[in-house]
Amino acid sequence: MRRPLLSLCALLALLAVAPAAHAKPPWPSTTLQLGMEDAEGGAAALKASAPFGLRYHYLAGGVNTGSSWQSWATGGGSFVTNYIEDSVANGMVPAFSYYELRQSQPGSGRSDEQQAIVANLANRDTMRSWLEDLKVFFQRAGATAQTTVLQVEPDMWGYIQRQGGDDAAKVLAQVAGSGMPELRGLPDTAAGLAQAVVRLRDTYAPNVSLGYQLSIWGTGKDIAVSDEGDEAVDALADRSAAFYTSLGASMDTVFAEFADRDSGYAVKRDGKGESAWWDAADFARFARYLGDMHAAVKLPIVLWQIPLGNTLHRAMDDTAHHYADNRVQWLLGGDTRDHLKAYLDSGVVALLFGSGQADGTCACDAAGDGVTNPPANGTATRASLNADDDGGYFRSRVNAYDAAGPLALPATTRAPRRTNGSAPVSLAHPGRFSTRADVAKAVVKRGGTVAIRASFRATKAQTALISIEVYRDSTQVFQKTYDNATLRKGRVRSFLAHWKVAGDAPSGTYSVRLGVFAPGFKGLRTWNPGAARITVR
């Protein structure tokens, strides 16, 4: 399982000054793009070192811990703005791995990751904080209007798949129950959570491409170590596709991973055997699995967090930041591109390289030890090309890939543009609204009924969903909706609701709240949180 990677370079980087707006980089491109994890403010240096098409960074820390990504730069959320604009100014697509739920409270205190995720999904306050945090990301990214890629919660979907037996609708998640007005009407399930992510993106940042994380272990079997035959691989891919379909939400890309650590790290630090190293059969098995998934869900695939070690340079001595691996060599080494082409045929459109462990191999000098050339060890006989902890191999291969000409993607792999990407219903300029609520009784006894008349006036004619709601503090106790209601330009239209107060309702003050949404709760248009008050005695 991966952990959030906040490299020392990322923590020490100076804040970048946001440049002027630039043209949007194409995404996906027409060719296979390469990318790398990179710190804030590092785009110019990264681009100068090799012709990268993307750069990525984790957003992590936990949404209710005081350490969320919003605290990383001055001005809530400005880290995202800085990173996006720095990337675009240097001709790269910015990508983020949004990894917040596992580190949020109360689940962060549990050692069992799956149960930590399940506990946080079921916690109303945690999910409200998570959704509000995600909303800030979308607002920040949407304000830049630049093409941005967001991978949503690595690991989370795999744990949900295990918990729900391949059905996201069977796992509790506080979505509408979180109390966010934008999410009224969505089910309180993990499927509803996926739908909420899409709704928030459509509302605030249609320029963001959403990435679904495909965990190859979500079925309960990790094909990287179980050596499944072709028929078994196909069956597991069918289950993975069925789980994605159970979300009932259409994302834009699929993110997948080989592993979250170098093979040398797994052997040296985790005590794994030689099975930690992939051979030709493992690479072929993974390509088959991805191809099956791509054929089923019709989405382009990003291979992400690819370990950066190699077995060629003497710097790879299996010490911190210098662990050996063979993925870079398999994908970018050699005289032919047959290995790359196999993954292109499986729907892969981009390769993102980076370590999932704090001490993993970096194509940078994370170890701070300069040029390193310890004694030769087996095949690791080459001298370092520079101070990068991998001996400089990775960047040299990226430059070689570009010099040979980037590989063209099959036309069937490229993602179609979302039909709602330029003007989702919630951003269709519905105009301004005035709303009010009149109650027949300002004071009502338990067990009694009170009539609520809600009035709406819009400056533009439209069809909408009207929601009349009653709250005790932050808890909704009543809701009446009118879907596909017609509002005429400049005219007041009233809707009636009758709230029957429960016999055991707590005494005190209740608030009447009014919302106007796109039909089917597909986007918030206006919200009045204090339209009227009712006292229960």
Spell out the SS3 assignment of 182-204: HHCCCCCEHHHHHHHHHHHHHHH
Domain boundary among 167, 195, 213: 213
Amino acid, single-letter form, for residue 433 = F
DSSP three-state, residue 450: strand
pTM of the model: 0.81
In this prediction, residues 52-56 reach a mean pLDDT of 97
What is the structure's pLDDT at 523?
Answer: 75
Q: Is 76 exposed, middle or buried (0-12, 13-18, 19+ CB in 10 A)?
A: middle
The per-residue pLDDT for 529 is 87
Percent of the chain residues topping a pLDDT of 90: 82
pLDDT tier for residue 225 given thresholds of 50, 70 and 90: confident
- Identify whether 7 is part of a domain: no
Q: What is the mean pLDDT of residues 56-61?
A: 97
Interacting residues of 207 by C-beta distance below 8 A, sequence separation 6+ = 24, 141, 142, 144, 145, 146, 147, 148, 421
Average pLDDT over residues 293-299: 93
pLDDT band at residue 192 using 50, 70 and 90 as cut-offs: very high
Task: Indicate whether 368 pLDDT > 60.
Answer: yes
Position 394 in a domain: yes
**Domain for residue 238, yes or no?**
no
201 and 100 in a common domain? yes
Residue 412: pLDDT above 80? no
Same domain, 408 and 487: no
Measured distance CA(28)–CA(408) in Å, rounded:
11
Same domain, 355 and 384: yes
For residues 181-196, give the mean pLDDT: 95
Q: Please indicate, yes or no, whether residues 404 and 455 belong to a single structural domain of this protein.
A: no
Domain-ending residue, one of 213, 231, 264? 213
pLDDT at site 429: 66
Residue 10 has pLDDT above 50, yes or no: no
Is 60 exceeded by the pLDDT of residue 362? yes
Q: What mean pLDDT comes out for the span 426-433?
A: 66
Whether 11 shows a pLDDT value over 60: the answer reads no
Please check whether residues 247 and 382 belong to one and the same domain.
yes
Q: For residue 414, what pLDDT band results from cuts at 50, 70 and 90? A: low
Say yes or no: 531 and 386 in one domain. no
For residue 453, give the amino acid letter.
R
157 backbone φψ class: left, alpha, beta (φ>0; ψ -120 to 50): alpha
Number of domains in the chain: 3
d(CA 459, CA 451) in angstroms, rounded, equals 27
**Span between the terminal Cα atoms of the chain, in Å:** 53
Percent pLDDT > 70 in the chain is 91
Residue 391 Rama label (left phi>0; alpha psi -120 to 50; beta): left
Note the pLDDT of residue 511. Answer: 95
195 with 78, same domain: the answer is: yes
Quote the CA–CA distance of 69 and 97 in Å, as a whole number: 11
Residues 179 and 326 in one domain: no
In a domain, 223, yes or no: no
Residue at token pair 């509790």 = 172
Give the dihedral of Cα atoms 361, 367, 371, 374; nearest 10 deg: -70
The residue out of 384, 415, 446 marking a domain boundary is 415
pLDDT at 32: 97
Domain range for 346 is 243-251+275-415
Which tokens in the block code for residue 408?
């063209």
Residue pair 456/488 in contact (Cβ under 8 Å)? The answer is no
Q: Is residue 85 one of the residues assigned to a domain? A: yes
Give the model confidence (pLDDT) of 317-361 as tens digits: 999 999 999 999 999 998 899 999 999 999 999 999 999 999 999
Residue 13 within any structural domain of the chain: no
pLDDT at site 520:
82
Looking at residue 26, what is its pLDDT? Answer: 61
pLDDT at 420: 34
pLDDT of residue 13: 33
Please indicate, yes or no, whether residues 209 and 75 belong to a single structural domain of this protein.
yes
Which CATH number do you get for residue 499? 2.70.50.60
Q: Residue 424 pLDDT more than 80?
A: no
Asked whether residue 484 is assigned to any structural domain, the reply reads yes
Same domain, 493 and 525: yes
Could you tell me the CA-to-CA distances from 496 to 438, 440, 446, 514, 535 in Å, in that order? 10, 11, 21, 12, 19
Q: Is residue 87 part of a domain?
A: yes
411 with 438, same domain: the answer is: no
User: Tens digit of pLDDT for each residue in 376-393?
Assistant: 999 999 999 999 999 999
- Alpha-carbon gap, residue 260 to 171, rounded angstroms: 26
Q: What is the pLDDT of residue 15?
A: 29
State pLDDT tens for residues 455-500: 999 999 999 999 999 998 877 899 999 999 999 999 999 999 999 9
Indicate if 189 and 41 belong to the same structural domain: yes
pLDDT confidence tier of residue 18, bands split at 50, 70 and 90: very low
